[in-house]
A and B are shown apart, each in its own frame.
Chain A
Amino acid sequence: MPLITYRQAINDALAEELTRDENVIIMGEEVAQFNGAYKVTEGLLEKFGPKRIIDTPISEAGFIGIGIGASLLGVRPVMELMFWSFAYVAFDQMINNAANVRYMSGGLMHCPIVIRGPANGGTAVGATHSHTPENFIANTPGLKVVCPATAYDAKGLMKAAIRDNDPVYVMENTILYNEKWEVPETDYVVPLGKADIKREGKDVSIIAHGRAVITSLKAAEILKAEHGIDAEVVDLRSIRPLDEETILASVRKTHRVVLVEENKPFCGVDAQIAFMIQDKAFDDLDAPIRRVSSLDAPQVYSMPLEKLQIPDAHRVIAAVKTIC
């Protein structure tokens, strides 16, 4: 299987879906002539032309709203946010319109739109450009949200998202764009709502999503090598829908849980996961659930401090050690 980058995997997913369905279009800032601010859409303009690969002005509320409106007539827009942090100026469109039009019309309409882009800290761009809003989105019935951690998942989830008839918001990670994984050349889809055991283990379940999965895998290697602890790493991949069965099966196997995310802690995704585990697997737990999140302050600019703010392998190991 060829090794390709997370960026290339998404690019391939977009190109394949653009080829498969003429209603799929790409719209966003710098996606066409500039080839994408992070080069995720590189080459698509040349291949598919300006009717389908569309540069927008810096006007998120306007162009996201246009994408939603167009989706009502059967266009399947894939909207790029240069950063998910920019979603906040388009939240009325993304929440009030995309999530609610089906419900408020009693099911007369649906909104097959994908909104994608990076949602991460760790690149020293300050608080305004470092948001991780998967918890905000997951809090909105009507929306789906996924956070791929590897190139394989990024491609498969992106294709599933584009084929989905509900709004799906895909949160990528700029730090992962250059990382390489094995990705098959055959056509495949990763279904939304299916978690993945990224590493099998028996002593503790480390449950994570997005880049926190990669951090957790590093921590698991060190735990094995230096502490003799055999950690299982569960990658949620999809936040809503959520694969509760895989989470609970892992908890029932290891009886210990550490939740890891780059979200801030208060009402973060892991708050929901922790509630669910104590609700459904209380008797299977041999220790309190531990959680490792980004430190609870606006994202700090200074690079050494931001490294401390985002969960790293050492914080994950420390959390595991308190219960193992």
Chain B
Amino acid sequence: MTKKASAPSTAETAAKPASGLAHKDAPINAQLTKEQRIDLFRQMVRIRRFEERTLRVYQQGKIGGFLHLYIGQESVAVGTVSLKGQHDHYITAYRDHGHALAVGMSMNECMAELQGKYTGCSKGKGGSMHYFAPDKNFWGGHGIVGGQTPLGAGLAFGLKYKGLKGSCLCFMGDGAVNQGAFAEALNLASLWALPVVFVIENNGYSMGTSLARSSAATPLAKRADGYAMDWEVLNGANIWEVRARTAEAMKRAHESCRPTLLEMDTYRYRGHSMSDPEKYRDKAEVEEYKAKHDPINLLRADLLADGTLDEATATKIDDEAKAEADASAKFADESPFPPPEEIFRDVYWETDNPDKRTSQGRLFFND
């Protein structure tokens, strides 16, 4: 079993973008074309600009309920999803905008979903926390902390049962590790040798409760030892490291049908949700991360330094992302709300397919 707990702070590697970020030379990264490298940057920028735009829409009162932003963590979703093969599947928790855009969902459908519009990815029935795109191997978008972890193991079970060489990447926050379902999922994944990669996106806070106040022992990934599972802690702000180490875990899933628990140190700049006053942390802490650990800035500097990117291209990518996000807000504004009869669609497969109905009797009980 390989296991590795790197130093809790990987600031040293992160702070030296000029000399190239660590793991940049790993084969999985070295093989990328110039355009592929630029595209990693583009996807991260798109997620950032999309979410900044959602923030404005939220402040305009157009988004109901919750909005959990991923800002600061983009390297994790983009890095891991960039490794996706035909039979690699992804599932995450409620902070799901980044993964959704990374797998190829459009800004339009995501923005419209936030506003509860009919053109949204779930026709306005899921909202921010519940994005899904099974055609892109993306299975949500789950609102209950830790509840998606057995599902991720189940997707891996399904792949193995059907004899497909694939994996399921199952994401969660650091708060999820203290849920019972997570412990059960780890045990079963290892016991049954399921091709799943559990990814803890450790942003330091489970809602407003810091890691130190919620988990008795760190690193969190070390819990895998209790289940005879490989584990590793890595710097989630460095997309090269995310790709290199996740690729190893996915290879373990593909080749050996073994699970892995990865803990990626990351940071969210915004509160847990938009209703979070953030009294539990210093502004200075946030500013420190923005200045030294921002995954987009790190990659930008790295690609500028090695000549992959020039300032004009970087600015153009940023401008395009802003324009795309603006257009998505306009698209959402102009989209209709779902008609009232949509309340009763998509409840049962059978009532959505009445010509194939086999049951009889009443399925809805409105007075």
Cα A272 to Cα B366 in complex, Å, equals 11
Residues 109 to 166 of chain A near chain B (Cβ within 8 Å)? 109-110, 112, 141-142, 144, 160, 163-166
B125 at the interface (CB under 8 A from A): yes
**Judging by beta carbons under 8 Å apart, are B143 and A96 in contact?**
yes
**Judging by beta carbons under 8 Å apart, are A107 and B141 in contact?**
no
Cα A75 to Cα B164 in complex, Å, equals 13
**Judging by beta carbons under 8 Å apart, are A106 and B151 in contact?**
no
| Residues in B whose Cβ lies below 8 Å from that of A163 | 358
A170 at the interface (CB under 8 A from B): no
**Residue of A whose beta carbon sits closest to that of B352:** A107
**Residue of B whose beta carbon sits closest to that of A67:** B154
- Tell me which of B185-193, B207-215, B307-315, B321-329 binds A: B185-193
**Residue of A whose beta carbon sits closest to that of B146:** A92
A178 at the interface (CB under 8 A from B): no
Residues 10 to 63 of chain B near chain A (Cβ within 8 Å)? none
| Residues in B whose Cβ lies below 8 Å from that of A144 | 348, 359, 363
Provide the main secondary structure of the chain A interface.
Answer: mixed
| Residues in A whose Cβ lies below 8 Å from that of B365 | 242, 272
| Residues in A whose Cβ lies below 8 Å from that of B91 | 69
Cα A93 to Cα B155 in complex, Å, equals 14
- Tell me which of A54-62, A227-235, A289-297 binds B: A54-62
B204 at the interface (CB under 8 A from A): no
**Residue of B whose beta carbon sits closest to that of A60:** B184
Residues 143 to 181 of chain B near chain A (Cβ within 8 Å)? 143-144, 147, 149-159, 161-162, 168, 180-181
- Tell me which of A191-199, A306-314, A316-324 binds B: A191-199
A101 at the interface (CB under 8 A from B): yes
**Judging by beta carbons under 8 Å apart, are A66 and B361 in contact?**
no
The proximity string for B residues 122-145 relative to A, scoring 1 for CB distances below 8 Å and 0 otherwise, is: 111110001011110001111110
**Residue of A whose beta carbon sits closest to that of B359:** A192
Task: Please list the residues of chain A having a beta carbon within 8 angstroms of any beta carbon in chain B.
Answer: 25, 51, 56-57, 59, 61-75, 89, 92-93, 96-97, 101-110, 112, 141-142, 144, 160, 163-166, 189, 191-195, 238, 240-245, 272, 279
10 smallest CB-CB distances across A and B, nearest first, come from A69-B154, A65-B150, A193-B361, A62-B184, A73-B158, A241-B361, A107-B346, A106-B123, A106-B122, A105-B132
